[in-house]
Amino acid sequence: MRLKNIPGAGEYIEKSHYVIQNPEKIKSNWNNEFKNTNPIHIEIGMGRGDFIIKMAINHPEINYIGIEMYDSVIFKAVKKLEKLENAPVNLRIIRMDATEINSVFEKEISRIYLNFSDPWPKAKHAKRRLTSPQFLERYTSIFKGEQQIFQKTDNDSLFSYSIESFKEAGFRLENVTYDLYNNMIEENVQTEYESKFVEKGTKIKRLEAYKTNY
Ligand SMILES: C[S@@+](CC[C@H](N)C(=O)[O-])C[C@H]1O[C@@H](n2cnc3c(N)ncnc32)[C@H](O)[C@@H]1O
């Protein structure tokens, strides 16, 4: 994500009711935050929010939480939400580095979306990939019931790395495709990065990873 520093972005997003301050105080209580018992799906690295905002609009029966680590990126998402006539009530945003995810959630998430995550191509940065064994381990305790991780990417190396990483960690893979647009799923909500890659003709890779929590 090309980042332009936006002066005042931090202060601006702090005032948005979408952006949760001190999310660690809500740990184990996210359903109370939404005032319902609906499943909670999160997107890690939501960028400017195209995907998660559309998902929240399309699925009022699901609660969504977008995680992103940069103020100026969240600022753009908040601006988009403010322009909507019927902004979704089932959406929250958390500004944090996902390495801290265990301080914020415990046994309450039903699905993680990882869309066009940074590939971190150098081996010495492998543990920063959002599908590294270190991240998969962190995710384990945030799930309620079956673990579900849905991934889309343009990046071949990240995709093969992720497949290996999921298999090593005992996940079952379903609906794996190396060319999503020639194997279209029922509902594909485009992300901002996805629309750019599709325009360039890059093949989009997608998978669903499942693991039962014992
Ligand atoms: C390449 S962009 C993709 C954005 C969006 N998902 C899309 O498909 O358009 C990756 C985003 O993930 C965020 N990100 C990367 N690592 C993260 C982490 N550890 N915690 C939170 N956000 C992260 C980056 O700041 C960036 O906005």
Please give the distance, rounded to the nearest whole angstrom, from the Cα atom of residue 58 to the centre of ligand 1. Answer: 22
- CA of 73 from ligand 1 middle (Å) equals 9
Atom of ligand 1 nearest to the CA of 99: 19
Q: Which atom of ligand 1 is nearest to the CA of 117?
A: 10
Please state, in angstroms and rounded to a whole number, the distance separating the CA atoms of residues 50 and 77.
8
State in Å: Cα 34 to ligand 1 middle.
24
Direct distance between the N- and C-terminal alpha carbons of the chain, in angstroms, rounded to an integer: 37
Residues of the chain with pLDDT > 70, as a percent, come to 98
pLDDT digits (tens, 9 = 90+) for 164-177: 999 999 999 999 99
Distance 98 CA to ligand 1 centre (A): 10
Band of pLDDT at residue 4, cut at 50, 70 and 90? confident
**CA 128 to ligand 1: nearest atom:** 19
What is the domain partition of the chain in residue ranges? 9-211
Alpha-carbon dihedral sign for residues 190, 41, 62, 207: positive
What's residue 2's pLDDT?
56
Catalytic residues: 118
Q: Are 47 and 191 in contact (CB under 8 A)?
A: yes
1 — pLDDT class (breaks 50, 70, 90):
low
Pocket of ligand 1 (CB under 6 A): 1, 44-47, 67-70, 73, 97-99, 115-118, 191-194
Q: Which two structure tokens, joined as six digits, stand for 14?
A: 């702090």
DSSP assigned state of 166: H
Residue nearest (by alpha carbon) to ligand 1 atom 27: 47
Fold of 9-211: Rossmann fold (3.40.50)
Mean pLDDT, residues 180-203: 97
**Confidence label for 214 from pLDDT (cuts 50, 70 and 90):** low
